[in-house]
Amino acid sequence: MKESANNYCVILAGGKGRRLWPCSREDRPKQFVDFFGTGRTALQQTYDRFARMLPPENIFVNTNEEYVDFVREQLPQLDASRMLAEPIYRGTAPSMAWATHRIVHINPEANIIVTPSDLTIIGDEQFKKCVGRAFCFVAEYKRVLAMGVMPSRPEPGYGYIQMGETECDGVFSVQSFTEKPERDFAKIFMDSGEFLWNTGMFIANASRLLECLRSLLPVVLRNYDDTHPVFDFEEENRFVHDNFPSYPNVSLDSGILEKTDSVCVMRCNFGWADLGTWHGIYEAMHKGEGDNVVINTDAVLDNAYGNVIKLSDGRLAVVSGIDNCIIAEEGNVAGVALR
């Protein structure tokens, strides 16, 4: 992908990570954890991925004020003006409204890719090519573009985007969006060939995205612009701290895909998995002996099938006569639950 000064990335890293408890907890969510023992946390891996594609100064991280120290510790190279710390959780649509507002003030010609911080991407070159094509599309057509991949199983934990009319090669209008359907419907969607998994990544012309978000949300940041003719990111931080709680709790996925007419979806060919739940981890990862998924853990298995096993460093898991369970331990908490 040709590096462009107009291309930006916003990494969403403010989630509380409760679905992977106890390995991910509110005081240290999964995006700040080296969950798979790679030597890099999910946030660091996401930053690394985009730093190979974009100028580092064009990468922004959105998080919660509670997690600022984690971001600074894990990304010491990130300039203070590139971190947006929210005082309260309000969903990803308000998060992107703020990030887009700041980027538009830096570069009115900007195009933005927004990504969760905890996705697994397989096939870096294919991913890079898809992102490059998507940036070119939104720069030319001023549209909002969702990135979708063909489903490989009837997964009820993902969102599904139905492809409509062809806009150009590999890009379609959005016919419908269904968030986390029942498994029977997920199978119908997959078998039809008309649906893509929603990866949670969107690319858009920044001015167009800001226009869409303003139609969905209260005019909080427009009030800032009316009273601050000269932009200053520290003053904007103070304004957002005082006014952000007035935003509704709205996700970018539902707000854009369900309520915006001009959104399109690109059919992408890179490998993707959202590993935000234990079920998703089991479905997406390589199965070992007895169809168990053992994550960075020493384990002895005896007559055990279909489990997810994740213990902290130095612990040994001895699993006998247990099937289809989540066996997880971190710190002072161990949990066993049906998968």
What single letter denotes the amino acid at residue 24? Answer: S
229: left (phi over 0), alpha (psi -120 to 50) or beta: alpha
Give me 301's structure tokens: 């298995």
| Same domain assignment for residues 309 and 197 | no
In a domain, 218, yes or no: yes
Least confident of 40-44, 204-208, 272-276: 272-276
> Which of 209, 207, 242, 236 is closest to 224 using CA atoms?
236
Asked whether residue 281 is domain-assigned, the answer is no
Residue 3 has pLDDT above 70, yes or no: no
HSE at residue 39, side-chain half, CA atoms within 13 A, is 1
Band (321; pLDDT cuts 50, 70, 90): very high
E-assigned strands of the chain? 7-12, 59-64, 83-86, 111-116, 119-122, 144-149, 159-168, 171-179, 195-205, 263-268, 271-274, 293-294, 298-302, 308-310, 316-320, 325-330, 333-338
Q: Are residues 187 and 307 in the same domain?
A: no
| pLDDT tens figures, 120-131 | 898 889 999 999
The backbone region for 142, taken as left when phi is positive above 0, alpha when psi lies in -120 to 50, beta otherwise, is left
Q: Are both 59 and 92 inside the same structural domain? A: yes
Structural domains counted in the chain? 2
322 in a structural domain: yes
User: Minimal CA–CA distance to 282: which of 148, 157, 127?
Assistant: 157
Q: Which two tokens stand for residue 146?
A: 């969702």
Containing domain of residue 323, as a range? 286-338
C-alpha radius of gyration, the chain, whole number:
20
Domain's final residue, options 255, 276, 297 = 276
In a domain, 181, yes or no: yes
Tell me, yes or no, whether 203 and 262 share the same domain.
Answer: yes
Backbone angles phi, psi at 137, to 5 degrees: -65, -50
**How far is Cα 158 from Cα 243, in angstroms, rounded to an integer?**
32
- Pick the more confident residue, 222 or 115: 115
What is the distance between the alpha carbons of residues 293 and 290, in angstroms, rounded to a whole number? 9
Please give the structure tokens belonging to residue 330. Answer: 């971190």
Of 243, 276, 309, which residue is a domain's last?
Answer: 276
Lowest mean pLDDT among 54-58, 61-65, 326-330: 326-330
* Whether 155 and 194 share a structural domain: yes
Q: Is residue 153 part of a domain?
A: yes
Residue 222: inside a domain? yes
Cα–Cα distance for residue pair 82/121, rounded to 1 Å: 24
What is residue 105's predicted lDDT score, i.e. its pLDDT? Answer: 93
310 lies in some domain? yes
The residue among 256, 276, 296 that closes a domain is 276
In tens, the pLDDT along 140-156 reads 998 899 999 999 989 88
* One domain, residues 249 and 110: yes
Q: Which residues 6+ apart lie within 8 Å of 271 measured at CB? A: 120, 121, 122, 123, 126, 149
For residue 65, what is the DSSP state? G
Q: What is the pTM of this model?
A: 0.91
| Claim to verify: residue 188 and residue 272 sit in the same structural domain | yes
User: Per DSSP, what are the bridge partners of residue 305?
Assistant: 323
**Digit-coded pLDDT (tens) for 187-231:** 999 999 999 999 999 999 999 999 888 888 888 888 888 888 888
DSSP 302-333: ES-BS-EEE--TT-EEEEES-BSEEEEEETTE
| 207 shares a domain with 60 | yes
Same domain, residue pair 182 and 207: yes
pLDDT, residue 86, reads: 95
Query: How does pLDDT run across 12-33, given as a tens digit for each residue?
Result: 999 887 777 877 777 788 899 8
Considering the domain architecture, whether residues 150 and 201 belong to the same structural domain is answered as yes
Task: Check whether residue 237 and residue 318 sit in a common domain.
Answer: no
Distant-in-sequence, close-in-space partners of 281: CB < 8 Å, separation ≥ 6: 20, 275, 293, 295, 308
Percentage of the chain beyond pLDDT 70 is 99
Specify the CATH number for the domain of residue 63: 3.90.550.10
pLDDT score, position 63: 97
Residues contacting 158, CB < 8 A, separation 6+: 151, 180, 186, 197, 198, 274, 280
- Tokens 């890719």, residue located: 113
Residues 182 and 262 in one domain: yes
The conformational region for residue 338 under phi > 0 = left, psi -120 to 50 = alpha, else beta, is: beta
Query: Is residue 2 in some structural domain?
Result: no
Q: Which residues pair with 165 in a beta bridge?
A: none
Two structure tokens written together for 271: 């490998």
